[in-house]
Amino acid sequence: MRSRVIICEASELITIGLVEIIDGMAQFDVVARLDNPEHLSEKILATDANFVIINPTLLGCFSRDFLSQLGKECPQVTVIALVTTCVDYSMLTPYSGIIEINDTKSKIISKMNEFARGEATKNTDDVELSKRETDVLVAVAKGMMNKEIADQMNISIHTVISHRKNITRKTGIKSVSGLTVYALLNNLIDEKDLI
């Protein structure tokens, strides 16, 4: 049975291109296109959709609440972020995966196949950082430089850099500000630690 996909994107040009790619795949059918998320839950239930590809900018600052509610109403659906502008990737943690505007056709096909197999890797709610990686993340969030972290933890700078690469790979977050937000959201640091 083919998986049913809903695309929620304001740009018709982007939507048409995405529909063309996804409908060309044997295992997917695009069953609905929406230009805003207002009736998304109803459309998911009406079409029995398995996947929603949505532009996070349509949700604004309410994305976490909206996605949490959507997960309760439609637990069978996999929600994928369609990133068309510069965004702070730490804000994409509630999504099961990401499709970016500059992804090639073959990359989108590959990602959709991964999502269909349940191999989406961008959902950082399930990230398992080691104790040392967590310590490095907290130090980075507090504004410490690699050398300061190395000195404080009695490890080499190369080890710190290796931990930072692992943190970025596991969380999908590259910026210090994004890591700081991640640390705050996961209660690894308190706001007063940042002052």
pLDDT (tens digit per residue) in 133-185: 899 999 998 889 999 999 999 999 999 998 998 888 888 788 888 888 888 88
Give the position of tokens 């507090």.
Answer: 142
What pLDDT, on a 0 to 100 scale, did the predictor assign at position 153?
Answer: 92
What pLDDT, on a 0 to 100 scale, did the predictor assign at position 195?
Answer: 59
pLDDT (tens digit per residue) in 99-118: 999 889 999 998 888 888 87
For the range 141-146, what are the long-range contacts, defined as Cβ-Cβ under 8 Å and sequence gap of 24 or more? 141/176, 141/179, 141/180, 141/182, 141/183, 141/184, 141/188, 141/189, 141/193, 141/194, 142/189, 142/193, 142/194, 143/176, 143/194
The residue type at 180: T
Domains, the chain, with CATH or none: 3-124 (3.40.50.2300), 128-194 (1.10.10.10)
CA 170 to mean position of chain CA atoms: 12
In terms of phi and psi (left: phi > 0; alpha: psi -120 to 50; beta: otherwise), the region of 150 is: alpha
